[in-house]
Structure 1
Amino acid sequence: MAKLSINHTVEGLGEYLRDQRRQAQLSLRQLAEQANVSNPYLSQIERGLRRPSAEVLQQIAKALRISAESLYVRAGILDADDSGARMVEDAIALDPRLTERQKSVLLEIYRSFTGSDTSSSEELSEAIQAVNTEEA
């Protein structure tokens, strides 16, 4: 029964990755190159034949510009409850339409509503600056 659940998780992950790749308007070959994985391996992941490691998921997430945590949840590596807040913060941090000030204010508001610990604000600010530096 557990094997069936794992297979279903891997297939769901593959479908999700394929959808994200298409939304990013990338070919399988382009994504494989950007994620530094082989084309056949990425194809197997998308078809639900292989379960990628956390490291490979992180590389794919970076190439697709999506949250690695969201891929970890879909792959069954993380529980959804553990990563929900982080995914929201990542989405805010990575939104290119927002200014630094807007990102900061949105994060403060979000954290005030959720009661999140704000001690990681410096770490998040550094991440936001790094993302903006890469885009420039």
Structure 2
Amino acid sequence: MTEPGGAQNPMEKVADIASDIGEYIRQQRSSAKISLRQLSKLAGVSNPYLSQIERGVRKPSAEILQQIAKGLRISAEALYVQAGILDLPTGGPVGDSIRADAELTERQKQVLLDVYESFRRENAAARPAAETTQTTTEDTTEESA
């Protein structure tokens, strides 16, 4: 049910995300020419559960998405973005380097990216406060001169 102003209630948003990720997985599976049963075995996920994910009945966890990504031989990050777990990559040399590092697991890459982005957000939030403090100090210095 859509709320006044065209906004969706939270339950509808979850249902849309589950449907979107399920459709995306189905498309990836079809383009890889893998049957549902084959992907189920490759990913270590039960056939009925995988079917429910594809139909949008279930919203898989990040761990299940990672298993499905391995089965499809695609980036777990791509599934995380589709599922709304991750925002679209912002790019930049640090993020690109982390994503490209073959020595790290998908989980390790995600943790590093999360920490890096949290530092960037924290610094961006602190920047206006520091600029305001600096401006106020400069104004006070000018007034006393």
TM range (shorter): 0.5 to 0.7
Q: Which residue does the alignment assign to 2:63?
A: 55
Equivalent in 30, 35, 38 of residue 30 of structure 1: 38
- CA shift, 1:78, in A, is 1.1
Specify the structure having the higher radius of gyration (Cα): 2
Across the aligned residues of Structure 1 and Structure 2, the Cα RMSD in angstroms comes to 2.1
Partners of 1:8 and 1:66 in 2: how far apart?
Answer: 22
* Per-residue deviation, residues 15-48 of structure 1 (Å, max 9, x unmatched): 0000000111100000000000100000000000
Q: Which residue does the alignment assign to 1:21?
A: 29
Q: Which residue does the alignment assign to 1:133?
A: none
Q: Does 1:124 align with 2:101?
A: yes
- Unaligned 5+ runs, structure 2: 1-8, 105-145
User: For residue 47 of structure 1, what is the amino acid of its counterpart?
Assistant: R
Partners of 1:67 and 1:9 in 2: how far apart?
Answer: 18
Q: Which residue does the alignment assign to 2:15?
A: 7
Q: 1:13 aligns to what SS in structure 2?
A: helix
* Per-residue deviation, residues 92-128 of structure 1 (Å, max 9, x unmatched): xxxxxxxxxxxxxxxxxxxxxx4x128947x71536x
Q: Identity over aligned residues, as a percent?
A: 55
Partners of 2:24 and 2:49 in 1: how far apart?
Answer: 16
Q: Which residue does the alignment assign to 2:81?
A: 73
Runs of 4+ in 1 over 3 A off after TM superposition: 118-121
| Counterparts in 2 of 1:4 and 1:41: CA distance versus 1, 3 Å | same
| Counterparts in 2 of 1:119 and 1:5: CA distance versus 1, 3 Å | closer
Equivalent in 53, 60, 70 of residue 45 of structure 1: 53
Question: How many pairs align?
Answer: 95
| Counterparts in 2 of 1:118 and 1:43: CA distance versus 1, 3 Å | closer
Partners of 1:70 and 1:7 in 2: how far apart?
Answer: 19
- Unaligned 5+ runs, structure 1: 86-113, 128-136
TM-score (norm 2): 0.60
